Amino acid sequence: MVTLNPTHSSRTAGSRAQVGLWPGLIQHYRDWLPVSSSTPVVTLHEGNTPLIPSPALSQRLGRDCQVYLKLEGLNPTGSFKDRGMTMAVSKAKEAGAEAIICASTGNTSAAAAAYAAKGGLRAYVLIPDGYVAKGKLAQTLMYGAEIIAIQGNFDQALAMVRQLAEAYPVALVNSVNRFRLEGQKTAAFEVVDALGDAPDWLCIPVGNAGNITAYWMGFCHYYQRGKASRRPRLYGFEAAGAAPIVLGRVVEHPETVATAIRIGNPASWVKAKAAVQASGGRVDSVTDEEILAAYRLLAAEEGIFCEPASAAAVAGLLKWRDQVPAGAQVVCVLTGNGLKDPDTAAQQGSAAIHTGVAPDLAAVARLMGF
């Protein structure tokens, strides 16, 4: 991450210029992205998210393995989607678009709405009615997007927005938009920049399969230009109730507690499968029980509150831990913030809530175990 140095600031004509501020991923990685001097950069200063060691997971793997967590939930709208959206919206503005459209299970809609607001564009969002977590829906509403809830699933919503983008003057900003993946590949750059090389394994949730594809793009680009000496094995994890790549067929009615990856027909299926095969990795599935166990573990032992879909990466690593080579460096990508899905957190929290307690010191002390 960039370290801010307050001694590098100066004041001129009543304004304050501060050197060292993170400029957003387009500016920072400009030489690696398809942008030019005429591209109007729409940014919320996304990227530069922490990569932190996980003692709890490293201990569980043992054998001198080192596990790191990439905290993508610390992006401006709380998920990795911001990386792709800064590129998609910037390029849409460059092309003269006045409106954008997307289908979403929640995170894409929040990011699209935020970047549209920042860029002065209208945003239209199609969501599966009743299947978007409250936190994500609240964000999208606050950013001012027009939300259309359809009686169907994400895959049906995506098919509709693709048709709408072809028929009407709106720019599609789902991950079928190639600029989305260009922005998202920068997370791989950050991993290498932080570690000094690519890790041995990268574990990541898989829903629409664009992110795992983007990471592979990023690792390959750094490797090809000598910024990394190797590329990692990719291990992608779908939810068992929404595992089309693992099953080798479309899942018509995907179901999982991990709403962000409740997708039955991933748009980047073919690209993701090719990336995983090229890396020597694997796509596997994890159950909702395994996801929720990892979700609770991260909160209780690492102090990290991610959304359930993010925990799929950790659940998968724990499932495959005996296959991790001794001394390996492993990165788990935590794609979204836990506040995205407060209902699941309220149901899963292990701490007791004592209600109706009298304002009595002795009574409170007894509840505290004193």
Judged by phi (left if over 0) then psi (alpha if -120 to 50, else beta), residue 78 lies in left
DSSP 294-328: HHHHHHHHH---B-HHHHHHHHHHHHTGGGSPTT-
The values of phi and psi at residue 11, to 5°, are -115, 130
Reported as a pLDDT band with limits 50, 70 and 90, residue 370 is very high
- The answer, yes or no, to whether residue 348 has pLDDT greater than 90, is no
Architecture of the domain defined by 27-78+184-342: 3-Layer(aba) Sandwich (3.40)
pLDDT at 131 over 90: no
Give me the DSSP letters along 220-289: HHHHHTTS-S--PEEEEEEETTB-HHHHTS--SS---S-GGG--SS-TTHHHHHHHHHHHT-EEEEE-HH
Are the folds of 27-78+184-342 and 81-179 the same?
yes
Mean pLDDT over 130-134 rounds to 83
Pairing of strands 171-172, 282-286: unpaired
> Looking up tokens 């791989």, which residue turns up?
188
Measured CA to CA, the distance from residue 170 to residue 98 in angstroms comes to 7
The residue assigned the tokens 């260009």 is 182
Q: Which helix (H) or strand (E) holds 146?
A: strand 146-150
User: 313-346, pLDDT tens digit by residue?
Assistant: 999 999 999 999 999 999 999 999 999 988 898 8
- Per-residue DSSP letters for 195-225? HSS--SEEEEE-SSSHHHHHHHHHHHHHHHT
pLDDT-based confidence at 154, cuts 50/70/90? confident
User: Would you state the structure tokens that stand for residue 151, as one six-digit string?
Assistant: 């009686």
Rounded to a whole number of angstroms, the distance between the first and last alpha carbons of the chain is 43
Residue 255 is encoded by which pair of tokens? 């179901």
What's the pLDDT band for 135 if we cut at 50, 70, 90? Answer: confident
For the chain, the average pLDDT equals: 93
The pLDDT of 77-81, averaged and rounded, is: 97
For the chain, the structural domain boundaries read 27-78+184-342, 81-179
At 245, give phi and psi (nearest 5°): -70, -40
Asked if pLDDT for residue 220 goes beyond 60, the answer is yes
Residue 7 has pLDDT above 70, yes or no: no
35-49, 80-94, 129-143, 246-260: least confident range:
129-143
Please provide the CATH number assigned to the domain covering 81-179: 3.40.50.1100
Segment 14-60, tens digit of pLDDT: 445 456 799 999 999 999 999 999 999 999 999 999 999 999 999 99
What's the predicted TM-score (pTM) here? 0.90
